[in-house]
């Protein structure tokens, strides 16, 4: 399971011109699910995302997590994160989970995080437009 997290001052996801998820300060989480992923991996990744210390403390050091910083999450399903890009000029998606598993784990991950902080979501398998203001810029690729 993969999360590309970006520290943001704001982020929004639209489908057909309508905003379906929006946050202010927090993390945009682009979530990729691979074939071998399960709820245990989703639990580990949720714990890591919620506790990853990438927000500034009073000394301007990256020492606070999104919970301590009073932030929220915008979680967007991103199957392209599971792409194999090692060979050729076209990505292979053979490592990606089938849509049913990917959707189940996407929803599960979001629910686990929502137990701790506010969470907004994209729309699984929709054509989405995501806009954000990356704060820093600060971006990390997390994998469990």
9 catalytic? Reply is no
d(CA 130, CA 22): 10
- For β-strands 72-77 and 62-64, DSSP reports them as unpaired
Q: Which residue out of 80, 85, 133, 139 is catalytically annotated?
A: 80
Residues taking part in catalysis: 80
């Amino acid at each position: 399971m993969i999360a590309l997290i970006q520290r943001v001052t704001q982020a929004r996801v639209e489908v057909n011109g309508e905003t379906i998820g929006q946050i202010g300060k927090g993390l945009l989480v682009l979530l990729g699910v691979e074939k071998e992923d399960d709820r245990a991996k989703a639990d580990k990744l949720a714990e890591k995302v919620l506790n990853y210390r990438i927000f500034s403390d009073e000394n301007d050091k990256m020492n606070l997590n999104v919970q301590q910083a009073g932030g929220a999450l915008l979680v967007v399903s991103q199957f392209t994160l599971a792409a194999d890009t090692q060979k050729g000029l076209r990505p292979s998606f053979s490592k990606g989970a089938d849509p049913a598993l990917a959707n189940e784990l996407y929803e599960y991950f979001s629910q686990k995080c929502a137990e701790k902080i506010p969470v907004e979501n994209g729309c699984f398998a929709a054509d989405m437009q995501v806009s954000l203001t990356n704060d820093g810029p600060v971006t990390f690729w997390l994998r469990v």
